Structure 1
Amino acid sequence: MPVTHSKEKTAVKYLTSSVAGVIFGFTLEKGRVFEPIVLREQMLMTNFTMLKMFLSASATAMLSFSVLMMIPGTCNKMDRALNEFVKSLGTKTAVSAALGGAILGCGMTLAGSCPGMVLIQVGAAVQNAWYTLLGALFGALLYALTECSVHCRLEARHPPRYHTVDQYLESPYFNLVLPLVAMIGTSVFALELLKPWTTEVEVSGDGIFATRAWPPYVAGVIVGLLQIPLVLTIGDTLGTTSGLMALVARTPVTPLLEKIGFRLTKYRKNLTTLWQIFFMGGAIGGAFLSSTLSNTRGSIRGVHPLCSFGGGLLMIYGSRVGGGCTSGHGLSGMGLMMLLSVVAVPAMFGAGISTAFLLKHVFDIPIDQL
């Protein structure tokens, strides 16, 4: 009986992660934030579609976590999810978060993607998206090879006293969330007044599912709400790079790689990240479905194969050095008010913006021709 119950619980986890992945992929495809030109223009501060979606998702995640923390029947599950996030950071420091975030940001601009978005690009058949995914897998392998030396140089010598902003300020989480969400909501509203989303992305098609685009703030709210089923069913939060590491660790060539120094055993044996593989598969399927319904699959221009591959490699390597990606640190970490996420996210976008401006204004390379 206990074995049967355990199998049923596992099946529910994988089903939930798959369905959540489909919704994630469908929603981000409709939000258009997966288009390489949209991301690059965001880094040049000429298109704010990504920022509107990102801020909306972070604010919704904060509210979702707040509600889960206050309900007696779900507060324990929320505590577990928070502990899982802290555990995933291991001995990461502010230096590793900043360095990893900066490497990730550079990769985002080069590839016109991010670790979660590359799944959407593959599902929507964006040109050269498979090169980005291949680069991401090589980035995971490179991190596995260098993980020990990186940790030796950047790991914390002593456990941190505080993990979250609310712990550091000794203030209840909810008391900090309300003004933050109000500020974020006001910012998104101001951005929308300044640059309406219909002027930043192409809008066509009829019907809620057949239309090419949804408002980015609507997409952000839906993505933020996905935190609720993941916390309640899986006991974890949104994130993708650990899933890529787990995927690489389960390839047939893994035993050979480990003989030459790749440390992938812990990712293969760690079943807690297995749900992310189902989530990633669902995300690709959701993007495929959305782009097919709107008749846009295969119509989005990608970036140069070298930029795709190199950017994908930097994205994943940076994510692992910093302990999280745009989903992990950006949505979940910021939603939980993790101190390391507060360091990683500005470094991420700061490096991405610097890279974009460097390419355009110093090297005089049109951002849409890379």
Structure 2
Amino acid sequence: MNNILTGAAMGAALTTAGVYKPSVILSQFNFSDFTMLQTFLTAAAGSTFFVTAFQSLSLTSLPPRPCAPLSSSAKSFLSRHAGNILGGVMLGTGMAISGACPGTVLAQLGAGVPSGRYAFGGAVLAGWAWNVLFSKRMPKASKDKADGDGEGKKKQAETIYEMLNTPYIRAVAAMEVLLATCIALAVKYAPAEAGYTRNVVPPLIGGACMALSQFISLALRRTTLGASTSFEELGSNLWAIVKGQWDQIKSWKNVLFMGGMVAGAKAVTAFIPAAAVSLVEGTAVSPLRGLLGGFLIVFGSRMAGGCTSGHGISGLSLLSVSSFLTVAMTFAAGGVVGLSMG
């Protein structure tokens, strides 16, 4: 039940904020509107506050997001984060093509966005492909990798505060100041006026709603938000059912979270008609783009070890190096593809 409730909170938050709409996501990546950026920055700031509070009070003991190497022999910084780089590029490309990410595609499904159905199909296919064909071949990130060999191995920094050799709380405070500065600059120089007229609430309030869903996840599940794992679990379970290997189904908890997100989005659009997309917005993405983009967003997210919520909201809140790198590559690739597509 906690997974369903948490999913419903996240789905409702995405829908209320309006960032689930393909037009809002596409306009961010062609830099014509900055609703998504303002919402994302506010959500990250609020999430960081809640995650830090739970960690400091010992209510949770969440590790940082690990790096995602593509080779078992990876030792250098870039090779250890190759999956974050390549996966982030795929995620950003898929978002700019489909106008969706692993979380928003579920909100689109609940809100009845036509392109969201195709993106969902591509996402489920990617979840199956990753789990069945690739995940078992991927190396696991070692927590004691060294810069050298033999004795005296140096642990690779997984967090920003480890990398900068600074106290955790001081790094969190600096993170919050940085995010607040970015929000202020975005409000002044990257307005979201066009986006606000399409949404229920202003971007900053929408971001606060998303941060609140992080609080609900921490309070009910003692873990952070993330959507892409749901597709891997769904693809794996469906494949097990097709093969008749029911004993291979280990869990449905992430699928329940997925169902909660769909239900949350559906409830908001049912009670607040202004939150729903228009016919023009709903058909802005073709079925082929939806299918291809849906595949890329989930396959890339699994390669990177997280998506825009897992890395972008939760991972940044934990000051994970891998999350900063993945998010940077996602927005960079999405911007390049978005501008090239006009």
Specify the TM-score bucket, using the shorter chain as the normaliser.
0.7 to 0.9
Superposed, which structure 2 residues align to 1:116-155 within 5 Å?
Answer: 116-147=103-134, 151=138
Residue of structure 2 equivalent to 1:236: 223
Q: Write the distance in 2 (CA, Å) between the matches of 1:156 and 1:17.
A: 27
- TM-score, L = length of structure 1: 0.79
Q: Which moved more, 1:54-63 or 1:161-170?
A: 161-170
Q: Write the distance in 1 (CA, Å) between the matches of 2:203 and 2:85.
A: 27
- Specify the SS of the correspondent of 2:336: helix
Query: CA-to-partner distance for each residue in 1:252-283, whole Å, 9 max, x for gaps?
Result: 6545398xxxxx95xx32x4xx4332222121
Alpha carbons 1:248, 1:254 under 8 Å: kept? no
Q: Write the distance in 1 (CA, Å) between the matches of 2:3 and 2:54.
A: 19
Structure 1 residue ranges without an equivalent (≥5): 1-13, 204-211, 259-263, 361-370
Query: CA-to-partner distance for each residue in 1:193-252, whole Å, 9 max, x for gaps?
Result: 33554433325xxxxxxxx51111112122123333323432321001111111222226
CA separation of 1:195 and 1:347: change in aligned 2, threshold 3 A: closer
- Specify the SS of the correspondent of 1:82: coil
Of residues 82, 106, 109, the one that matches 2:63 is 82
CA separation of 1:158 and 1:46: change in aligned 2, threshold 3 A: same
- TM-score, L = length of structure 2: 0.85
Q: Give the length in aligned residue pairs.
A: 318
1:150 Cα offset (Å):
5.5
Structure 2 residue ranges without an equivalent (≥5): 71-79, 146-154
Residue of structure 2 equivalent to 1:285: 263
Superposed, which structure 2 residues align to 1:193-208 within 5 Å?
Answer: 193-203=188-198
Q: Write the distance in 1 (CA, Å) between the matches of 2:93 and 2:42.
A: 23
Of residues 227, 232, 237, the one that matches 1:245 is 232
Alpha carbons 1:22, 1:284 under 8 Å: kept? yes
Alpha carbons 2:110, 2:266 under 8 Å: kept? yes
Q: Write the distance in 2 (CA, Å) between the matches of 1:178 and 1:289.
A: 36
Residue of structure 1 equivalent to 2:290: 308
Q: Write the distance in 2 (CA, Å) between the matches of 1:311 and 1:329.
A: 19
Q: Write the distance in 1 (CA, Å) between the matches of 2:10 and 2:255.
A: 14
CA separation of 1:347 and 1:90: change in aligned 2, threshold 3 A: closer
1:182 Cα offset (Å):
1.9
Q: Write the distance in 2 (CA, Å) between the matches of 1:158 and 1:234.
A: 25
Residue of structure 1 equivalent to 2:94: 107
- Spell out structure 1 runs of 4+ moving beyond 6 A: none
Superposed, which structure 2 residues align to 1:250-265 within 5 Å?
Answer: 250-251=237-238, 254=241, 256=243, 265=248
Q: Write the distance in 1 (CA, Å) between the matches of 2:143 and 2:266.
A: 46
Q: Write the distance in 1 (CA, Å) between the matches of 2:238 and 2:336.
A: 36
Of residues 168, 172, 189, the one that matches 2:184 is 189
Q: Write the distance in 2 (CA, Å) between the matches of 1:344 and 1:170.
A: 22
Alpha carbons 2:47, 2:317 under 8 Å: kept? yes
What value does the CA root-mean-square deviation take over the aligned residues? 2.5
- Specify the SS of the correspondent of 2:60: helix
Alpha carbons 1:239, 1:276 under 8 Å: kept? no
